C-alpha cells in the first residue's frame, strides 16, 4: 500500500533513514515494512532558531518501491511550415511561450539579441577580469536571459497564474535537479542553469522551433495599428501573424522604440536600493543557532521586510545564500549589481538586495520616468566607483553612522569596491528608508547590523518600471493588434517561474 504522511523531524533525522523511521512511527508499522519514500514537499522551520523540517512523503509499505522517473512534462509534436509567431527574447517567458505554442502545433522563431550560453561565458569573463562590457551579451542579455547566470531561484507566490508543477516538471526533464519538485524554495544554481537552458533550447529546436542569436529587435513592422512582424537592428525584416514581446526588464532600447511607435504602456512602481553582503557563517548562526552548518540544512536564507514611519516599504530582495555578487550592467557608463548562488551554495558569502519601494510619483518623468531614474542611479554609481564597473561601497555600521569606511571587508564582487559615502550617492527617498529599515531588521535579527557586512550599489533592476498594456483575457495590446506583451519585462511577472507561467498563458491565449 501507499500512504501520504507529514512528518516533523530535526536536522539529524532529515536523511532517508530518519524520515523512514519517523514515517514508520506515524503509521504504526515496523520500519522493515517500508520499502521506499517519495518526497512531495520539504520546508525548513527555523523560528526562534529551533530548527525543524516539515516533510510530506508518499510512503510505500509492503510492496515493491517504484520511484518516480521522467519525463514528466508532455512531449512536443514535430512542427512544419514557416514560423507563424515571432518571440522577442529567450528568457523563461520566451522559452515557455515557444514550448506552449509548439504543444498547439504552432511554430515560432525566437529572436535573442545576445549570444548562446557558450558565447556568453567569455563575455562575462572579460567583464569580471577587465571591466569590459559587451552591451549585447552580458549577465542580462543572451540565451536564457538574466536568469541563466543569476542563481535560478524558483520560489514563487504566483500559484494562481498557472500550473507551477508543470514548469518544474519541464525543467527537471531538461536537467534540473529532481529536488526542485519538492523543496519549498526550489533552486537550480548558477553552475547548473546554463546546461538546463541549453537543453531546453535543444528540445525546442528538435521540435522545429527556430532560435536565432545576435538578432536584436529594432522596431515593430506595422500595417496601420496591426503588427506584421519585426525589424532587426541590421535592417532585416521578419514577418509573422503575431509578436510575443518577452524581452526582460533591462531592454530599455526596446521600451523606447515601442513608446515611439505608440504602443500603450503605463508607468508602474518598482524598487531600488543597495545589495548587502555578510559572511554566510554569521547568517547561519543568526538563523539556525546551534544547528548552523548542519549537512541537512545547507546555507541559511533570510527574508526581511518592514515599513518606515512614513509607510515606505523596505525589504530584502533576491537573497542568495552561499552566493556571489555580480556586475549586471547593460550600459557602459552605469553600475548595476545582482546576486547569484551556485547549486551547492558553498560560497562563504551571503548577499541580498535591500530595496525601497518607489511609486511613479516618486520618480516623475511620465511613462518612461522609471527608466530615466534607474539610469541616473546607475551612472552616479559608476562615477562614484571610479570606473571599470567598480561598485561604491560602505560598511553597514558606517552607513548608519554616515561616515566613509576607512577600509572595506572582503567581498565577492569581482570588479572591486570603492569606499564612498553612500548617502551622497543615493537620493534621500532611498537612503533614509534604508537606514530605518536596517535598524528595524536589527531588532528582528540581532547581529544583522555589523561591521562585517558591506553594502554596495546600485540594485536598480528589481522589476520593470513600466507595464506594456494588454487585454486581461486575450493578452493582446489594446493599441496594436497582433502584439502580445509578456513576462517580467512587460510588467506581468517577477521571477523565473512567474515569467514562465506568463509565457504559457500568453501562448495559450494566442493559440486559442
Residue 150 has pLDDT above 80, yes or no: no
**Does residue 70 lie within any of the structural domains?**
no
Q: Residue 70's pLDDT is what?
A: 78
**Does residue 99 lie within any of the structural domains?**
yes
If asked whether residues 290 and 338 sit together in one domain, one would say yes
Strand 237-239 to 466-468 pairing: unpaired
User: Is 141 buried (19+), middle (13-18) or exposed (0-12) by CB count in 10 A?
Assistant: buried
DSSP of 233-291: TTS-EEE-SEEEE---TT-HHHHHHHHHTT--EEE--EEEEEEEEEEHHHHHHHHHGGG
If asked whether residues 129 and 156 sit together in one domain, one would say yes
Residue 186 has pLDDT above 90, yes or no: no
**Does residue 139 lie within any of the structural domains?**
yes
Residue 284: half-sphere exposure toward Cβ, Cα within 13 Å: 20
**Does residue 17 lie within any of the structural domains?**
yes
Q: E strand or H helix at 357, and its extent?
A: strand 349-358
Q: Residue 157's pLDDT is what?
A: 66
Q: Residue 460's pLDDT is what?
A: 96
Q: Residue 160's pLDDT is what?
A: 64
Mean per-residue pLDDT, 279-294: 95
Mean per-residue pLDDT, 215-220: 98
Under the banding of pLDDT at 50, 70 and 90, the label for residue 231 is very high
If asked whether residues 206 and 245 sit together in one domain, one would say yes
Q: What is the C-alpha separation between 402 and 415, in angstroms, rounded?
A: 25
Number of H helices, E strands in the chain: 13, 22
115 in Cβ contact with 214 (< 8 Å): yes
Mean per-residue pLDDT, 327-333: 96
Instruction: State the angle between helix axes of 117-130 and 193-207 in degrees (0 to 180), rounded to the nearest 10.
Output: 150
Residue 49 has pLDDT above 80, yes or no: no
Q: What is the C-alpha separation between 495 and 508, in angstroms, rounded?
A: 20
If asked whether residues 437 and 350 sit together in one domain, one would say yes
Q: Residue 153's pLDDT is what?
A: 73
**Does residue 454 lie within any of the structural domains?**
yes
Domain that residue 40 falls in: 2-61
Q: What is the CATH number of the domain that holds 150?
A: 3.50.50.60
If asked whether residues 148 and 252 sit together in one domain, one would say yes
Tell me the per-residue pLDDT of 418-469, one tens digit each, with 9 for 90 and over.
Answer: 999 999 999 999 999 999 999 999 999 999 999 999 999 999 999 999 999 9
107 in Cβ contact with 208 (< 8 Å): yes
Under the banding of pLDDT at 50, 70 and 90, the label for residue 209 is very high
If asked whether residues 95 and 230 sit together in one domain, one would say yes
Residue 494 has pLDDT above 90, yes or no: no
Q: How many domains does the chain have?
A: 3
219 in Cβ contact with 231 (< 8 Å): yes
If asked whether residues 241 and 301 sit together in one domain, one would say no
Mean per-residue pLDDT, 344-353: 95
Residue 146 has pLDDT above 90, yes or no: no
Q: What is the C-alpha separation between 280 and 303, in angstroms, rounded?
A: 14
**Does residue 116 lie within any of the structural domains?**
yes
Q: What is the C-alpha separation between 298 and 53, in angstroms, rounded?
A: 13
Tell me the per-residue pLDDT of 476-490, one tens digit each, with 9 for 90 and over.
Answer: 999 999 999 999 999
Share of the chain above pLDDT 70, in %: 98
If asked whether residues 215 and 129 sit together in one domain, one would say yes
Q: If you search the block for the grid coordinates 517567458, which residue do you land on? A: 93
Q: Copy the grid coordinates of residue 269.
A: 512602481
Under the banding of pLDDT at 50, 70 and 90, the label for residue 350 is very high
List the end-to-end C-alpha distance of the chain, in Å, as a whole number: 42
If asked whether residues 202 and 283 sit together in one domain, one would say no
**Cis amide linkage into residue 458, ω under 30° from 0:** yes
Q: Residue 151's pLDDT is what?
A: 65
Mean per-residue pLDDT, 239-265: 96
Under the banding of pLDDT at 50, 70 and 90, the label for residue 502 is very high
Q: Give how far the C-alpha of residue 20 lies from the chain's centroid of Cα atoms, to the nearest Å.
A: 35
If asked whether residues 99 and 160 sit together in one domain, one would say yes
If asked whether residues 260 and 279 sit together in one domain, one would say no
Q: Residue 491's pLDDT is what?
A: 95
Mean per-residue pLDDT, 369-390: 97
Q: Copy the grid coordinates of residue 354.
A: 535591500
Residue 234 has pLDDT above 90, yes or no: yes
Residue 152 has pLDDT above 80, yes or no: no
160 in Cβ contact with 19 (< 8 Å): no
If asked whether residues 224 and 359 sit together in one domain, one would say no
Q: CA angle at residue 161 from 156 to 165, to 5 degrees?
A: 60
**Does residue 351 lie within any of the structural domains?**
yes
Residue 88 has pLDDT above 90, yes or no: yes
Q: Residue 185's pLDDT is what?
A: 86
Q: What is the CATH number of the domain that holds 14?
A: 3.30.70.2700
3-state secondary structure of 174: coil
Q: If you search the block for the grid coordinates 516599504, which residue do you land on? A: 313
**Does residue 69 lie within any of the structural domains?**
no
Q: Residue 67's pLDDT is what?
A: 85
Adjacency order of strands within the sheet including 237-239: 217-223, 226-232, 237-239
98 in Cβ contact with 110 (< 8 Å): yes
Q: Residue 191's pLDDT is what?
A: 85
Residue 57 has pLDDT above 80, yes or no: yes
Amino acid at each position: 500500500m501507499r500512504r501520504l504522511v507529514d512528518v516533523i523531524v530535526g536536522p539529524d533525522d532529515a536523511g532517508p533513514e530518519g524520515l523512514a523511521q519517523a514515517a514508520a512511527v506515524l503509521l504504526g508499522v515496523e520500519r522493515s515494512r517500508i520499502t521506499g519514500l517519495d518526497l512531495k514537499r520539504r520546508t525548513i522551520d527555523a523560528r526562534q532558531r529551533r530548527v525543524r523540517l516539515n516533510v510530506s512523503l508518499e510512503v510505500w509499505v509492503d510492496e515493491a518501491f517504484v520511484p518516480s522517473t521522467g519525463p514528466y512534462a508532455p512531449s512536443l509534436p514535430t512542427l512544419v511550415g514557416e514560423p507563424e509567431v515571432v518571440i522577442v527574447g529567450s528568457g523563461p517567458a520566451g522559452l515557455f511561450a515557444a514550448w506552449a505554442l509548439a504543444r498547439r502545433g504552432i511554430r515560432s522563431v525566437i529572436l535573442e539579441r545576445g549570444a548562446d550560453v557558450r558565447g556568453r561565458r567569455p563575455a562575462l569573463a572579460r567583464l569580471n577580469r577587465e571591466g569590459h562590457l559587451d552591451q549585447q551579451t552580458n549577465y542580462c542579455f543572451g540565451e536564457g536571459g538574466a536568469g541563466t547566470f543569476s542563481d535560478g531561484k524558483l520560489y514563487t507566490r504566483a500559484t494562481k497564474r498557472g500550473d507551477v508543477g508543470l514548469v518544474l516538471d519541464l525543467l527537471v526533464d531538461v536537467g534540473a535537479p529532481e529536488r526542485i519538485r519538492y523543496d519549498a524554495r526550489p533552486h537550480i544554481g548558477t553552475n547548473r542553469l546554463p546546461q538546463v537552458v541549453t537543453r531546453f533550447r535543444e528540445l525546442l529546436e528538435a521540435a522545429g522551433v527556430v532560435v536565432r542569436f545576435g538578432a536584436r529587435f529594432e522596431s515593430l513592422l506595422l500595417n496601420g495599428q496591426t503588427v506584421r512582424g519585426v525589424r532587426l537592428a541590421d535592417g532585416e525584416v521578419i514577418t509573422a501573424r503575431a509578436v510575443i514581446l518577452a524581452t526582460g526588464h533591462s531592454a530599455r532600447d526596446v521600451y523606447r522604440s515601442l513608446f515611439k511607435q505608440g504602443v500603450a504602456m503605463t508607468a508602474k512602481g518598482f524598487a531600488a536600493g543597495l545589495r548587502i553582503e555578510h559572511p554566510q557563517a554569521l547568517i547561519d548562526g543568526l538563523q539556525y543557532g546551534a544547528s548552523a552548518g548542519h549537512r541537512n540544512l545547507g546555507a541559511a536564507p533570510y527574508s526581511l521586510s518592514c515599513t518606515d514611519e512614513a509607510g515606505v516599504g523596505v525589504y530584502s530582495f533576491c537573497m542568495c545564500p552561499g552566493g556571489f555578487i555580480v556586475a549586471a550592467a547593460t550600459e557602459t557608463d552605469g553600475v548595476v549589481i545582482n546576486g547569484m548562488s551556485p547549486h551547492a551554495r558553498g560560497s562563504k558569502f551571503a548577499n541580498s538586495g535591500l530595496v525601497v519601494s518607489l511609486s511613479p510619483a516618486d520618480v516623475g518623468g511620465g511613462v518612461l520616468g522609471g527608466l530615466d531614474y534607474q539610469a541616473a542611479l546607475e551612472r552616479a554609481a559608476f562615477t562614484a566607483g571610479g570606473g571599470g564597473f567598480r561598485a561604491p561601497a560602505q560598511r553597514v555600521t558606517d552607513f548608519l553612522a554616515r561616515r566613509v569606511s576607512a577600509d572595506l571587508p572582503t567581498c565577492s564582487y569581482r570588479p572591486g569596491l570603492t569606499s564612498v559615502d553612500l548617502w551622497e550617492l543615493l537620493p534621500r527617498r532611498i537612503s533614509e528608508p534604508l537606514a530605518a529599515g536596517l535598524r528595524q531588521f536589527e531588532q528582528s535579527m540581532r547581529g544583522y547590523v555589523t561591521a562585517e557586512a558591506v553594502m554596495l550599489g546600485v540594485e536598480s533592476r528589481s522589476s520593470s518600471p513600466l507595464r506594456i498594456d494588454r487585454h486581461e483575457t486575450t493578452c493582446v495590446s489594446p493599441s496594436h493588434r497582433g502584439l502580445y506583451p509578456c513576462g517580467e519585462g512587460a510588467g506581468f511577472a517577477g521571477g523565473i517561474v512567474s515569467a514562465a507561467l506568463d509565457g504559457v498563458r500568453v501562448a495559450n491565449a494566442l493559440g486559442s
